[in-house]
Structure 1
Amino acid sequence: MSSTQIDRLRELLEPLAGSRGMDLEEVRITPAGRRRVLQVVVDQDGGVGLDACAELSREVSALLDEDDVMGGAPYVLEVTSPGAERPLTEPRHYRRAVGRLVRLRLHEGGDVTARIVAVDDEGLDLEVPGEKGRRATARRVEFTGIAGARVEVEFSRKPARDESLKET
Structure 2
Amino acid sequence: VEDPITSAYTLEVSSPGVDRPLTRPKDFDRFAGFDAKVELIAPVDGQRRYSGRLGGLDDQGQVVVGEGEAEVRVPLAEVRRAKLIMTDALLAAFAEDQPGQNGEG
Aligned counterparts, 1:7-156, within 5 A: 67-106=1-40, 107-108=42-43, 109-119=47-57, 122-126=61-65, 128-129=66-67, 138-155=71-88
Cα drift, residue 115 of structure 1: 1.8
Whole-angstrom distance in 2 between the partners of 1:98 and 1:136? 18
Query: SS of the residue aligned with 1:75?
Result: coil
Q: How many pairs are equivalent?
A: 87
RMSD between aligned residues: 3.2
Cα drift, residue 92 of structure 1: 4.2
Residue 114 of structure 1 aligns to which amino acid in structure 2? G
Query: SS of the residue aligned with 1:144?
Result: helix
Cα drift, residue 113 of structure 1: 1.4
Q: Percent identity?
A: 24
Question: Residue 29 of structure 2 contacts residue 55 of structure 2 at CA under 8 Å; is this kept in 1?
Answer: no
Query: SS of the residue aligned with 1:112?
Result: strand
Tell me the TM-score normalized by structure 1.
0.39
Structure 2: which 5+ residue stretches go unaligned?
94-105
Q: Which has the higher contact order (CA 8 A, sep 6+)?
A: 2
Whole-angstrom distance in 1 between the partners of 2:83 and 2:49? 11
